[in-house]
Chains A and B, each alone.
Chain A
Amino acid sequence: MIEVRELTKRYGGTVAVDALSFRVRPGTVTGFLGPNGAGKSTTMRVLLGLDAPSSGAALVNGGPYAALRRPMHEVGALLDAGAVHGGRRAFDHLGWLARSNGIGTRRVAEVLEQVGLAGVARKRVGGFSLGMRQRLGIAAALLGDPGVLMFDEPVNGLDPDGVRWVRRLMRALAAEGRTVLVSSHLMSEMELTADRLVVIGRGRLIADTSVRELADRFARGVLVRSPRPEDLAAVLVAAGGTVEPARSGTAEDAPSGTGEGAPSGTGEGAPNGTGEGAANGTGEGAPSGALSVTGLDAAEIGERAAAHGIPLYEVTPRSASLEEAYMELTAGSAEFGAVAS
């Protein structure tokens, strides 16, 4: 259990965290999201007793972290995987950590095995890749078999296999009833890992919600393409839906689930050669026969269209675009945003 209450942290005149409150419950993976500079790492540092709060409280298992005598048995944390002495061997790095909390060396060998670093235990950390350092940091967090785990950007630098491994590990840890807080600035990553989301921007809480609620809240209706868009629009409006022409060729209208992964994200009409596709080449604003429908779900749209003999080329619910939801949520709160052209 992690609890942050009205937490404020100032560095000189800069407010890094501003009256932030949220709770992280056991048995779930909670994604801690925000743009760079939003205050995620600061919040974690305060939670771990590294930085003192300017006001408010950050509690772990009901008390301040600094009051814990052998904290690694209760809380495991990965803050910065690069923060290791390059001259020390992996086994020694975990060894001194374990020793500081009265944990035996057998456990060190166990976690090295668990994160897949057993083969390089006697190698100096200086020669490790970023991905290996991430694994070493995760091993350190697991040493004391803690009930609360905090990971700051754990997939940075990992290859796809490593990313998947971390994802599974987080889910497995939560399934065992542990409290897991994972920070990230990538919504696409959290979408696959987290059950709940705490979104912050400029140090303030933007959303504290489940992944599903957030998706529903930012539902964009259903994208429909048909060679007879006018007929279809009339039918759907009659059925109680709201219909707008969808703009093609822009990233915002890509009917993709993850923002990045879907191959259709580059303009939906073009590969089919239906005629409207020509509009795609000339860019934004041109109607392409694609409609954005709200108020009706994909099944209802399909049935209405079939009842009226209108062919459909595509029916894509756009409720899963968490990336967009996140961008919308954090718009204006990015600390170091580039100026849009």
Chain B
Amino acid sequence: MLDAVAAEWWKLRSVRSTHVIVSVAAGFAVFVVLLAVQQAHVWDGLDAAQRTRFLLRPLQELGGWVAQLCLGVLGVLAAASEYRTGMVRTSLVAVPSRSRFLAAKAVVVALTGLAVGEAVSIGCFLGARLAVGGRPFPDQRAPIAHDLPGFAVSGVAVAVFALLGLALGVLLRSAAGAIVAVVLLWHVVPLLVYHLPGPWNERLGSVMLSGLPTEIAGLSARQSIYGDLLSPPAAAAVLPAYALVPLAFAGLALARRDA
């Protein structure tokens, strides 16, 4: 199993798409911090009444949200590029056990997603705080240790998106199809759900993948298109299901299909 994981890691780091995707996510984190610097200047020009309504958190959360999409695409490419080139046959000749092949890919994609997700999500959180300095934004008054877990969960959601992408890549065998599916789950379906008649917009909005980190952190979703009906433990149970259920289907498909 370790051999297979090491081989998948070698595969992932030896193609340019991986470097491009990680660079885009990292670049976006830098962009978020730069925006925070600009927000600090805006803050300085506001009067006291305006300052009580001026929030920084939506900007801080943007980094993790974009990283979800980036790493979702990375997960898709980890599988679909093998189907596109036919290299999947070479892979399965080298590692004939389909379950070991998929598990090795999942380990590598998940760890990459987690590392990039945490770096981007926590980086945006801390970077934005640094950028605004001591300015008392109404949503930045809590100590760092209090807000950090929320952003750490957001980083986990990035890994979940990466695994979801991987599973869709295996199931659909087409990068274009799987990326469209990832984008749908990432933002299009939540937007549609938001416009459903109540109470369904709230109910379904509470189980949307991108909104789960907020619920796990126990925060209100009033400012967003998502719902917040789930308790933090319930939301924490739904989050990994978004990775594991599609992966289970991918494993079944892989085992039953001719390569």
Contact = CB atoms under 8 A, between A and B. Distances in A.
Contacts of A88: 11, 14-15
Of A67, A77, A97, which is in contact with the most chain B CB atoms at under 10 Å from its CB? Answer: A97
A11 to B, nearest CB: 8
Interface stretch (A48-56, A174-182, A250-258): A48-56
Interface size class of A (residues with CB under 8 A): 20 to 34
Contacts of A87: 15-17
Interface in B91-128: 91-97
A242 to B, nearest CB: 52
Given A85-B85, A100-B3, A51 B94 contact: no
B87 interface: yes
A72 B93 CA distance: 8
Interface string B1-29: 00110111011001111000000000000
A97 B97 contact: no
B42 interface: no
A89 B16 CA distance: 10
Contacts of B96: 48-49, 65-68, 71
A151 B82 CA distance: 21
Interface string A83-115: 111111100110111011110000000000000
Nearest to B84: A85
Contacts of B7: 96-97, 99-100
A90 B14 CA distance: 10
Nearest to B256: A52
B258 A49 contact: no
Nearest to B18: A87
B259 A51 contact: yes
A48 B93 contact: yes
B90 interface: yes
A80 B94 contact: no
Interface in B129-172: none
A66 B86 CA distance: 19
A85 B87 contact: yes
Contact of B258 (A50, A95, A102): A50
Q: Which of under 10, 10 to 19, 20 to 34, or 35 or more describes the interface residues of B?
A: 20 to 34
Interface string A38-78: 00000001001111100000000000011110111000010
A199 B140 CA distance: 77
Contacts of A148: none
Nearest to A76: B93
Contacts of A67: 96
B229 to A, nearest CB: 44
B4 A49 contact: no
Contacts of A92: 10, 14
A271 B4 CA distance: 65
Contacts of B8: 96
B259 A96 contact: no
A83 B259 contact: no
B93 A95 contact: no
B201 interface: no
Contacts of B95: 100
A287 interface: no
A85 B259 CA distance: 17
A83 B90 contact: yes
Interface string B69-96: 0000000000001100111011111111
A2 to B, nearest CB: 15
A312 B17 CA distance: 71
Contact of B14 (A65, A71, A77, A89): A89
Contacts of B3: 70, 99-102
A106 B130 CA distance: 48
Nearest to B82: A85
A328 B21 CA distance: 56
Contacts of B85: 82-86
B226 to A, nearest CB: 37
A97 B14 contact: no
A140 interface: yes
Contacts of A83: 85-87, 89-90
26 contacts: A45-B258, A49-B92, A49-B93, A51-B259, A52-B258, A66-B96, A71-B94, A71-B96, A77-B93, A79-B89, A79-B93, A82-B86, A83-B86, A83-B89, A84-B90, A87-B17, A92-B14, A95-B10, A96-B7, A96-B10, A96-B14, A100-B3, A100-B7, A100-B91, A101-B94, A102-B3
Given A51-B259, A72-B93, A84-B90, 8 more contacts: A45-B258, A48-B89, A50-B93, A83-B85, A83-B86, A89-B14, A97-B90, A99-B6
Interface of B: 3-4, 6-8, 10-11, 14-17, 81-82, 85-87, 89-97, 258-259
Interface of A: 45, 48-52, 65-68, 70-72, 77, 79-80, 82-89, 92-93, 95-97, 99-102, 140
